[in-house]
Amino acid sequence: MTENPAPGTPEPRIVAFCCKYCAYAAADLAGSMRLSYPADLKIIQVPCTGRIDVIHMLKALEEGADGVMLAGCLEGECHFLAGNLKAKARVGQVKKILTEIKMDPGRVEMFNLSSAMGARFAEIATEMAERIRGLGPSPVPKKPKKAAAA
């Protein structure tokens, strides 16, 4: 893919939409297990990855995220039956759109895990962070980070 990364912050910004029934709990477990994973992930808890639509992923990229990942339940084990399968299809749609607009489709990815997989969460977080570092910063101009609320 042809991209023109602008000189920007070296730290990638990855937005991770995590299902509360699995990935979010797995991230919690990873913390309890004292497993370390890259700090590049900004985790957003969602009731189900099926809630995440194409627009949420595109907006994250438009707002300056270098990568977006969805982490949902194992296939066949969605709390809402098929939310993770819908999310998988939508990630596919976003990849197609990114290809069409000459961005690397690897900037978005779907992962599946269960709430007991703390170690797997640390693994996918590392995998995604390494991938995004390899791709370099998003060519989208960075917006300044918002200051934390006092």
List of residues contacting another protein (CB under 8 A) = 3-4, 53-55, 58-59, 61-62, 97, 100-103, 139-141
Between 5 and 116, whose beta carbon lies closer to another protein?
5
| Smallest separation (angstroms) from another protein to the CB of 149 | 27
| Smallest separation (angstroms) from another protein to the CB of 101 | 4
| Smallest separation (angstroms) from another protein to the CB of 59 | 6
Return the biggest CA–CA distance within the chain. Answer: 43
- According to DSSP, residue 50 is labeled G
Q: For 124, how many CA atoms within 13 A lie in the half-sphere containing its CB? A: 25
| Smallest separation (angstroms) from another protein to the CB of 100 | 4
Between 10 and 141, whose beta carbon lies closer to another protein?
141
Q: Are 104 and 52 in contact (CB under 8 A)?
A: no
d(Cα 98, Cα 96) in Å, to the nearest integer? 5
Between 29 and 108, whose beta carbon lies closer to another protein?
108
Q: Are 14 and 130 in contact (CB under 8 A)?
A: no
